[in-house]
Amino acid sequence: MRLGYLAVLCALVAHGSLADLAAPSGRVLITVSGSIISTNRGALEAGTPSLIGFLDTGFEAAAEFDQEMQDAMPQSEVTSLAPTGQTQVTYAGPRLMDVVTRLGAVPQSVSVMAADGYLAEISVEEMTIHTPILATRMDGRLMGLGIHGPEMVVFPPTWDADIYEGLRSKQVWAVIHISVD
């Protein structure tokens, strides 16, 4: 499976699609750091006066995305229950694996951090088999910070109770940072 991602990475490099990202022109929704090649911002030291720095996350370089950059990526939809479990909604956004491979990563896993510091690790197998999205919209509307946004990891529903229980804690809302391992 990892050979497939390596082939995609080689193809991107060969076609010149893996250059540094343009800087976001709008409000930054999410920051991705770790084992990535394509970046658009420099280092952040843990403890720096920012939400990510306050959560003791630092990095050498990262990729920041605004809404326009996220919307430019291929979009997927997942219809599922809202985190409250009472209503069915349709989420939309790019696939999580597409976001990290767009940055030149050949991940083994990603650590997804919420604005409150909640952290979940998602393996490459989970990203490949269950195809979670990094949702920015719920029922066609942008998700604000008070409405599970600005980003939320959403897995497609599964009828297997054991798999569902394993993935439920990885559906992180209010995502602000992803670290690629």
Angle at 62 between CA 59 and CA 63, to 5 degrees: 160
pTM for this entry: 0.87
* Distances in whole angstroms, Cα of residue 96 to Cα of each of 83, 86, 122, 134, 171: 19, 25, 10, 5, 12
- Could you tell me the residue ranges of all domains in the chain? 2-38+66-180
> Counting beta carbons within 10 angstroms of the beta carbon of residue 133, is it exposed (0 to 12), middle (13 to 18) or buried (19 or more)?
buried
Distance CA 169, CA 13 (A): 35
Q: What pLDDT is recorded for position 132? A: 98
CA 131, 179, 172, 76: dihedral to nearest 10 degrees? -30
pLDDT of residue 48: 80
Measure the CA–CA gap between 95 and 84, rounded to whole angstroms.
23
pLDDT score, position 118: 95
For residue 49, cis peptide bond before it (omega within 30 degrees of 0) = no
Query: Domain 2-38+66-180 class?
Result: alpha beta
Q: Note whether 96 and 152 are within 8 A (CB).
A: no
pLDDT of residue 20: 65
One digit per residue, the tens of pLDDT, for the chain of length 181 reads 544 544 444 444 433 444 568 999 999 999 999 999 999 999 988 778 888 877 877 899 999 999 999 999 999 999 998 877 778 999 999 999 999 999 999 999 999 999 999 999 999 999 999 999 999 999 999 998 888 889 999 999 988 989 988 999 999 999 999 999 9
Cα–Cα distance measured from residue 101 to residue 52, given in angstroms and rounded to the nearest whole number:
22
- How far apart are the C-alpha atoms of 42 and 65, rounded to whole Å? 14
For residue 69, the model assigns a pLDDT of 96
